[in-house]
Chains A and B, each alone.
Chain A
Amino acid sequence: MPTETPAPALSDPAPAAPLGVCRDCLTPAPAEGRRCAACGSPRLLRHPELAALSIAHVDCDAFYAAIEKRDDPSLTDKPVIIGGGRRGVVSTCCYIARIEGVRSAMPMFKALKACPNAVVIKPDMEKYARVGREVRQMMLDLTPLVEPLSIDEAFLDLSGTERLHGGIPAVTLARFARRVEREIGITVSVGLAPNKFLAKIASDLDKPRGFTVIGRAEAAAFLAPRPVTTIWGVGAAFSAKLAGDGIRTVGDLQGKSAADLARRYGAMGLRLAKLAHGVDDRKVDPTSKRKSVGAETTFDDDLAALADLRPILRRLSEKVAARLKALHIAGRSVTLKLKTQDFRIVTRSRTLADPTQLADRIFQAADDLLAKEPPGPKYRLIGVQVAELEGDRLADPADLVDPGAARKAAAERAMDSVRAKFGVKAVETGLVFDARRKRER
């Protein structure tokens, strides 16, 4: 009788039996039992299609808050809110704060009403970006097919990595999550599915420290009871339109034929028909480029006067320009964003003759748009964004009529290098400096 133990099923790319794995010790788990036979952990991952799925969405849990808690253990059991100023919004909050009803994007005063003992921390974007890059690097150790969505989430395509990592993608991902926890000190949630659409939904289902699998077989049934807004690209306006046609859940969509939906909603209808059944053939695209670079700020007190808004706009333009320059890109369109007292969002755009990465040009365009807004309304937020991005080879060419442009550009580059060495406030334009002095007085 052969006495050898059965080969570990997980290293086999296409095992037939339903599979399971312990997310703590990565030991294969049998189909039965509540706890891992090896380490006793209840965190078992089981799914009939586990070996067949390779598209993942990884999302860090309460990313900014988690980093702050990691760096200051005294915060561990306190509700932590990351957000700016007396008036800003919550950008991230930890799960303890969430229990109290705090949500991200909630105005700060509401958040503090819900959770008065919360520790509020101003965001340190540089630190978060650094940690984000560490996580990104660990993803890239798994596969080159990493499509970042933001600083703390990304799609991964792990197809064909079984041999390389000695296990199916589910195991590789569980190992990855464990590594991020051990080496970086924050937790992630993983969604594993046949495609991006389902993976993204999955990662959100069991947060924090979650690992959710949605297989092909259950996709349609799983989606059916959910609201249409579950589908990426269906926002408030479109869901209202769908509701007008009696479509509220994904299930309602599943009941319609693709031809019907296409007739009614055009290309979007076709997409809906596919996504409603959990079909999504978008590839994980590591080259997927950023579409815009922007910066915005919420004021402590609502502002209406141009004299107050312009220095802030100038400062934001400089911020955007600095990021464009660092990325060696430039953009052709400038968008001004304003949020009024009653939370109405106003955007105004302008296309430039040439792509730019200069603060001066960005500010000029945004300032001109701002000047054209009718005076009166008070604003709580202002932002500026540069889009239609491309490389900076053709950016800011010399100009016949404005021979000073080249000198201004050179002056700005000189300011940049001074700032790189001595900090942002080392050199400021009169506009910004003046406003700051008045404020500080």
Chain B
Amino acid sequence: MRVTLERSHLLKSLTHVHRVVERRNTIPILSNVLIRTRDGGLQLKATDLDLEALEAVPAMVERPGATTVPAHMFYDIVRKLPDGAQVSLETSGDGGTLAIQSGRSRFSLQMLPESDFPDITVGELSHRFDIKARDLRRLIDKTQFAISNEEIRYYLNGIFLHTVDTPNGRRFRAVATDGHRLARADVPAPAGSEGMPGIIVPRKTVGEIQRLLDEPDADVVVELSEAKIRIATGDVVLTSKLIDGTFPDYGRVIPQGNDKELKVDRAEFAEAVDRVSTISSERGRAVKLTLADGKMTLTVVNPDSGSATEELVVDYEDDPLDIGFNARYLLDITGQLTTETAVFRLADPGSPTLVQDADDGETLYVLMPMRV
């Protein structure tokens, strides 16, 4: 193989694909990126056996071929080459090394045969639809923070994507929860998504998809089955296994009868929570909200360091209520809301609380109170 290409093109693609490669691998080939000539250009591919990134790069092909080299090292080399440089890649005759040349820099990287490179893309994908990058990105942005890290309930380690019929028509919906909070976001269901299975997209894949969607107007092709999802946009194709599990019936979790309504200036509230939680310990940052007569008092007590309180004028006319929340979770949620006013629907200090934008938009958050 012998090709020449722009350093900037190569770097952009490597930036995408090298992230899929785990830093530590027990199987050597998984540390490598596959480089092959395809359709008059170059194609890069990386995988961790659960997620695969494939990207086409414009290149001048002098001699077709394919090989694999260590992904992180290759990326670091290309990253350090001067801006605007041309890079030539050439495999040695004995198949042992790849020569990378740019200006006066020459590198020689050990190769592994491309025939050993694993392929996870096989298998039929039953559903296919187009969606705007903006919409897909929104679903991820609004729910990602609530994905669980807990290994025991592995089926919570991703975002649950499915379609649902609502009074406002069919919706494409994302849900994530870690048992403490739950985030739900909707967008109009794209044509072709009807009948799709509910799928759980793993955390790492969610992050990589999110990074790809930097052009809001770009079109994204989504293909999926019960076991896999493929996302194609621009020159990049991501293929990922899905989490093989059943997402809990989250509908039961969303409180219906919470009769106490609190309206609060979102920014003011977030700042106050941030301020008073300064005093709290690293873990278990509980902030107590005392609600009565159009007033909210935020209190944090840390036996080791002291206490803090702050008062806010709020819109609250129901019975007085003391309720505690994890300060970080409150900040996570208020950070996702968009309207000036945040609306809380509360029941009692021990029951899930609903948090929404004032326009009752297409996102919804449920937060479990803490004992305070």
Q: Which of A's residues lie within 8 Å of B, judged by CB?
A: 350, 352-353, 364-365, 368, 390, 393-394, 397-403
Contact = CB atoms under 8 A, between A and B. Distances in A.
Contacts of B178: 353
B299 to A, nearest CB: 16
Contacts of B153: 401
B368 A400 contact: yes
A403 B283 CA distance: 23
B118 interface: no
Contacts of B180: 353, 397, 399-400
A393 B371 contact: yes
A390 B284 CA distance: 11
A403 B251 CA distance: 13
B368 A399 contact: yes
Given A368-B152, A390-B283, A393-B284, A400 B371 contact: no
A400 B283 contact: no
The 8 closest A-B pairs by CB, nearest first: A394-B284, A399-B179, A353-B150, A401-B248, A400-B253, A401-B179, A400-B368, A400-B179
A390 B282 CA distance: 12
B78 to A, nearest CB: 35
Contact of A401 (B250, B284, B286, B371): B250
B368 A398 contact: yes
A403 B183 CA distance: 17
Nearest to B352: A400
Contacts of B368: 397-400
B288 interface: no
Given A394-B284, A401-B253, A350 B151 contact: yes
B149 interface: yes
B177 interface: yes
Interface of B: 148-153, 156, 177-182, 248, 250, 252-253, 283-284, 286, 350, 352, 366, 368-371
9 contacts: A350-B151, A353-B149, A368-B151, A390-B283, A397-B368, A397-B371, A400-B181, A401-B248, A401-B253
Nearest to B351: A398
Contact of A353 (B148, B250, B371): B148
Given A350-B151, A368-B152, A397-B368, A402 B284 contact: no
Contacts of B350: 398
Contacts of A365: 152
Given A353-B150, A394-B286, A401-B179, 5 more contacts: A350-B151, A399-B179, A399-B368, A400-B179, A401-B250
A390 to B, nearest CB: 7
Which of A350, A390, A399, A403 has the most CB atoms of chain B within a 10 A radius of its CB? A399
A357 to B, nearest CB: 14
A398 B179 CA distance: 8
A397 B324 CA distance: 12
A206 to B, nearest CB: 43
A79 to B, nearest CB: 47
Given A353-B179, A397-B368, A403 B152 contact: no
Contacts of A393: 284, 371
Contacts of B151: 350, 368
Contacts of B182: 400-401
Which of A350, A397, A403 has the most CB atoms of chain B within a 10 A radius of its CB? A397
Contacts of B248: 401-402
A393 B352 CA distance: 19
B152 A397 contact: no
A332 to B, nearest CB: 8
A364 B179 contact: no
Nearest to A361: B152
Contacts of A398: 350, 368-369
Contacts of A403: 252
Nearest to B156: A401
A350 B179 CA distance: 18
A350 B178 CA distance: 16
Contacts of A353: 148-150, 178-180
B256 to A, nearest CB: 14
Nearest to B366: A400
B281 to A, nearest CB: 9
B371 to A, nearest CB: 7
A7 B25 CA distance: 76
Contacts of B149: 353
A364 B284 CA distance: 23
Contacts of B283: 390, 394
Nearest to B178: A353
Nearest to A390: B283
Nearest to B153: A401
A399 B150 CA distance: 13
A387 to B, nearest CB: 14
Nearest to A394: B284
B5 to A, nearest CB: 44
